[in-house]
Amino acid sequence: MWFYEAQRSGKLPSNNRVPWRSDSALEDGSDHNVDLTGGYYDAGDYLKFTLPLAHTITVLAWGAIEWFNGYTKAEQSEYLRSTIRWGTDWLIKAHPEADVLYVGDGELDNNYWGPDTNIPTPRPSYRVTVDNPGTDVAAQTVAAFASSAYLFRNYLNDSNYADLLQSHAETLFSFTESSTPFQVYTDAVSASSNYYAASSYQTQLVLAALWMYRLTGETSYRDKASNYFDQYKLASVPVAIWDWSDQSGAVHVLGAAIDGTNTKYSQAATKYLNTITQDTSVCSYTAGGLLWCKGASEYNSLVPAQDIALLALLYSKVDPSKSEYVTFALNQINYLLGDNRMLTPYVCGVHMNSPHNPHHAGASGGSDINNIDTSPPEEKYILYGAIIGGPDKDDKFYDERNDWAQTEVALDYNAPFQGLVAYQLSQDSVADPPYASITEPRPYVTRTKPFAKWIIAVIVVVVVFVLAGIGYLVWRKRYSIMARIGNKQYSKPVGV
């Protein structure tokens, strides 16, 4: 949970465990006269977004609900409480009125690289309203409020805070349904379109209704979820890897777990998981065994693997006969924790082979954005517990700070990891992670460097000239031959 403390924004508490972090972004929301301080920075920079935060909170809460004893065994339940509450307290601030939700700050200077003490200003804030809706982000925030309320009421013994969260969930759900036309929030807030643009709003809407049903037990929410599921034909939509942009996988699994009135959710869940884990036309595996989904794994390979592993374990609780799902999930966890070609646990700070250079401005200790790999050459501060993007399709990892596809960190990267670890710790017998027995250093690997563009251009020009020259020589030779033939055929003999 330490990583999430390193991502905190706003006025930090006295028990903050990250010594190199400071109070920051204390004027957020001032452009609209609201208090939007606090919350979490999304990744290795200083941007804040509601959609991935709400997704993260939902995933964290879900994993904790299912395997809470994993947190208690590890004596992490109070850190769990503070981690989720730091996020939900900000979501409450982002919902200051019944028909308003603030969604992020996408137009900030994303080129700033340095400590949290010099973050550029101004930091504009954006919102969705009844007249300018964002169905996806509003519905996902409902799911965050509802799942967290369920956790605080049933496991963290804080009914007062659970009631507050439920009140926001109910109000925001009404806002979500009444704000038309239904649309993704980036249609209303273009400033976020280059960062977190969801592929749909339909799956988030069903997920919100399902979590409201689980929280309240009111069948009206169950029926809404079922009707939306049928209306949008979610049982037959193309398979999309679960993340903040698409919640279809989560809908299938959660629906199967809490709505026993039909089998459509469980059928969709098994189809979804079987397709991803077994149909090689959708996803395959690297030589080392990492799930690899084309279009989803290229830029953060460990995230799809973690997300699907978590769904597989969650569904195995619904249908314990699916032992192959557990096997799949454990293989992915073991890969992440060091059972891989690079002998690397992709968790910062747990082993000598852990990533040393996550793409994180604050932890790097540097301020030169044009030379972030070498200034400094190795991260100044260890970003304990952070999951990085992951290796490439050849299972190679280069640990280069500027290679954000491999070394980026983010709130949603760690969310499934917490649930996966809680699952393992909740078991009666817990084996040591693979990295515990790794004594060799990480293997040295190099990447094949592509030719520079100017070299390619020169080669193309040379080839064109060579071909043109050859063509000219061929033409000249043919012309000479034809000329000789022509002379033989049409010239008069000498003396005639």
Phi, psi (5° rounding) for residue 127?
-145, 160
- 3-class secondary-structure state, position 60: helix
**Residues 364, 397 contacting (CB under 8 angstroms):** no
Q: Which two tokens stand for residue 315?
A: 């569904």
Three-class SS of residue 97?
strand
Which residues in 289-321 are b (16+ Cβ under 10 Å) and which e? Answer: bbbbbeebbeebbbbbbbbbbbbbbbbbebeee
45 is catalytic: yes
Distance in angstroms (rounded) separating the CA atoms of residues 115 and 130: 38
Question: CB-based contacts of 83: which residues, under 8 Å, 6+ apart?
Answer: 1, 4, 5, 60
Catalytic residue among 99, 177, 403, 408: 408
To the query of whether residue 399 is one of the catalytic residues in this protein, the response is: yes
Q: From start to end of 220-280, where are the E strands?
A: none
- By three-state DSSP, how is residue 240 classified? coil
Are the C-beta atoms of residues 102 and 29 closer than 8 Å to each other? Answer: yes
DSSP 8-class letter at 292:
E
Q: Do residues 98 and 171 touch, judged by C-beta distance below 8 A?
A: yes
Residue from 28, 246, 307, 399 carrying the catalytic annotation = 399
Q: Summarize the chain as % helix, strand, coil (round to 5).
A: 50, 5, 45
User: Is residue 347 helix, strand or coil?
Assistant: strand
For the question of residue 408 being annotated catalytic, the response is yes
127 forms beta bridges with 102
The C-alpha atoms of residue 392 and residue 340 are separated, in whole angstroms, by 12
Among 351, 359, 360, 379, which one carries the catalytic annotation?
Answer: 359
Residues β-bridged to residue 284: 292
Residue with tokens 């979820």: 225
Packing angle between helix 159-178 and helix 202-216, nearest 10 degrees? 140
Is residue 412 among the annotated active site residues? Answer: no
Of the residues 28, 42, 45, 395, only one is catalytic, namely 45
Active site residues: 45, 359, 399, 408
